[in-house]
Amino acid sequence: MKKQQSPARLPVPEGDATVPQLNGLLSAGSGFYSLPGQHCNEVWPRLFIGNAFVAQNVMRLQKLGVTHILNVAEGNSFMHVNTSAEFYAGTGITYHGIKANDTEQFDISAFFEEAAGFIEHALAHKDGKGKVYVHCREGYSRSPTIVIAYLMLRHKMDVRVAVATVRQKREIGPNDGFLRQLCQLNQTLEKEGKLKLKTK
């Protein structure tokens, strides 16, 4: 199996990030996307992305050592995951929910800062030993988008580096609307001088 490039050596093209560039990273330039091969993956130290199956399995979460859960698909429809703070009552797991839809029109960027703050706080929990499980229904579009935004906002990563970092650990495929919003965040952070990880 060919080893993927480490994100630190990822060549980031000059100029603004674009949706086609991000799609190229997601499909490894092949135009083909893979569905996640596992229910959950650790994509950053103590930060997991996964699906509803694990989110609803408290024993499994406790085995992973999860202290915090961020549900990016809170709701009752079949496209959502109907968990809540009550669902995890008595488990010691802290819950936060975001009612996001996996559509290109949905403004997920409205939740970027709120989610990044929750993840940052969660990872600092227990003297820096907190573990966060970020999920949506499949762990493929909504939750990876939120984790990528967290890496950009809190670790100053260029969007292309952040996408490659997550993609290296899990098969993901945020919809084009979400990718566009990540590109817009990238432009904003670049203008404000808040990005450091470009090419090395």
Side chain identity at 39, as an amino acid letter? H
pLDDT in tens, 27-70: 877 778 889 999 999 999 999 999 999 999 999 999 999 999 99
Per the CB < 8 A criterion, the answer to whether 172 and 26 are in contact is: yes
Q: How many helices (H) and strands (E) does the chain have?
A: 7, 5
DSSP one-letter code for 15: S
pLDDT in tens, 133-149: 999 999 999 999 999 99
DSSP one-letter code for 39: S
Q: What is the CATH number of domain 32-191?
A: 3.90.190.10
Using the predicted structure, report yes or no on whether residue 12 has a pLDDT greater than 90. Answer: no
pTM here is 0.92
Closest-CA residue to 41 (of 147, 124, 120):
147
Active-site residue list = 136
Poorest-confidence range of 24-28, 98-102, 128-132? Answer: 24-28
